[in-house]
Amino acid sequence: MLAAEGRVVMVSGASRGIGAAVAARLAGAGYRLSLGVRNPALPPVGDPRNCLVARYDASEREAAQQWVAATLARFGRIDAVVNNAGILNRTGIEDEDERALDRLWLINVKAPLRVIRAALPSLKRSGAGRVVNIASLAGKRVRNADTGYAMSKFALMALTHGVRRLGWEHGIRASAVCPGFVATDMSAGAPGVERAAMIQPEDLAEVVALLLALPNNAAIAELLVNMRFEDTL
């Protein structure tokens, strides 16, 4: 297992839900953190000396480069990226207004691509770079009319495998975490699903911590996390 000490992890969407749980778990493990949030007034997580809270708006074209630059200015290195920021817009095949689909593509696909692209030179230098993309079981199968959301998560899966291929010889390992319903604001009001039965953000954070700690010769490309018995594909 890789030691956490000295390693720097960027986490997007770290102000609440899965991102906040991941940040807390990694801070407790001894990682140095760069938290990308829209409101940089968020207090640091853990030891303030080991935590940078940086402004990051996934909808802005230059935000990824600025966040990476701020991280390098503070810590001098980047060893891992956790792309957690994402949205759920309900849009289907018959919806002719494509604004919701465009925003899904911007936030769920292009934003993580831009973060990875900006961080890639540093991840290569690490020799044990890690990219963890928080996807969804919707990135593995389509079970409802929210086709646009599924399309964005399928694309995030493709991005994960593209990074895995590109970075392999440099020691970069990319993983997609595909959970079912997680008890966050995004899943509030999900029909027919009790909140107590959903995956807890803290449990998903344990999964992320495992993926970051695995050595180069024990990589997991996709990890599907179920909250109930169901076909996964």
Active site (catalytic) residues: 149
What the block records as the tokens of 32 is 């140095």
Distances (CA, A) of 49 to 30, 31, 33, 44, 186: 12, 11, 10, 9, 31
Exposed, middle or buried by CB within 10 Å (0-12, 13-18, 19+), for 55? middle
Distances (CA, A) of 94 to 110, 141, 143: 23, 19, 16
Angle in degrees, 0-180, between the axes of helices 111-126 and 147-167, rounded to the nearest 10: 20
Backbone angles phi, psi at 142, to 5 degrees: -115, 120
